[in-house]
Structure 1
Amino acid sequence: MTHKVMSSFASGILVASSILGGIYFFSSEDADAKETSKKEETVSATVTETEVLSEEDMKSELETAGYVVLTSDEYSKEIAAAEEKAKAAATEEAKAAAEKDAEKNADKVVYKTIINVASGMTSGDVAQVLVAGKIIKDASSFVKAVEKKGVESKLRLGVFEIDSTMSVDKIISTIFKS
């Protein structure tokens, strides 16, 4: 573009923005003034038309509009009744959960076994005995847990009573020296 074309373009933008700015500046005051006067007229009309209502009239107007009107005593009674209902529901849920747990535990069988750890046994041998006694489900995971604790060479010699409710850590601490 040449210098003349660039100057003409800049002049056109300047003239257009000046015209738009003038329109905005002069028309915004008139619009604001008109809106303000309309609001003032509406407020003054509302104030003159408002009549003083009695308490019963206000209550009936609100009730016809779909609102519920309660005194503070009635409101307190409603809140207390709702809290009591919530407590009863929570108690019922707790009973249902307890019954469900009782059913689960009634079906659960506890296995007990006595293991005799003799000289020369390894953690793998102990794991096999525990699997045979239905104390643990997987021998390899038991051996890995023993190795993770670093007690695979610290077997205690003797007779131990183990049941299926014991955790793997508890079994390991019973049979192995820590």
Structure 2
Amino acid sequence: MQTSPISERENIFQNLPVPSALRKMIVPAVTSQLIVLIYNMADTFFVGKTNNPYMVAGASLILPVFNITLCLAGLAGIGGGSLISRLLGQSREDEARRVSAFSLYLGLLIAALFAAGIGIFMEPVLQLLGAGDNTYQYARQYVTCVIVIGGIPTVLSNVLSNLIRSIGRSKEASAGIILGGLLNIAADC
């Protein structure tokens, strides 16, 4: 007899020893974070194939801004996910649904404001990050694609992943991040 998805989730949180439960939840999460790292390395690899060190430097200058984008996703996704897990543990599913929707909209709002802010204040931000005469144009192109245009999808993807992980679906959450990362790497080729 097959068990329902709810009982599998409850089994992880209620019946498994803590080390086993952590392994079931952590391995897919770590894998998805490694894919994000590989995606960033793939960008640098393909930019590096141009044999233009200024392009590589321009892309590298944006890494701190990209990391801030991921932190913003964590703000909405991990924070909301923590509350969702506690609410589900208290059998308050309606409130968990509302928190999920709020977290998603919060992530969307934060990402849109951050992308707009970077778009508006791009010149001083790039100068603060160290873009010079040789790297400014390349950094500008990269930040436009990755943060201004790609910031909202990046944040929403990570928020959704964290929210899905909070209900015990770590494999499914990681599969989404991995698929998105692989699609981004393929698009670079």
TM bracket, shorter-chain basis: under 0.3
Q: TM-score, normalized by length of structure 2?
A: 0.23
Pick the structure with greater CA Rg: 1
Q: Normalising by the residue count of structure 1, what TM-score does the alignment of the two structures yield? A: 0.24
Q: Which structure has more strand as a fraction of its residues? A: 1
Using CA pairs below 8 Å that are at least 6 residues apart, which structure has the higher relative contact order?
2
**Higher helix fraction (1 or 2):** 2
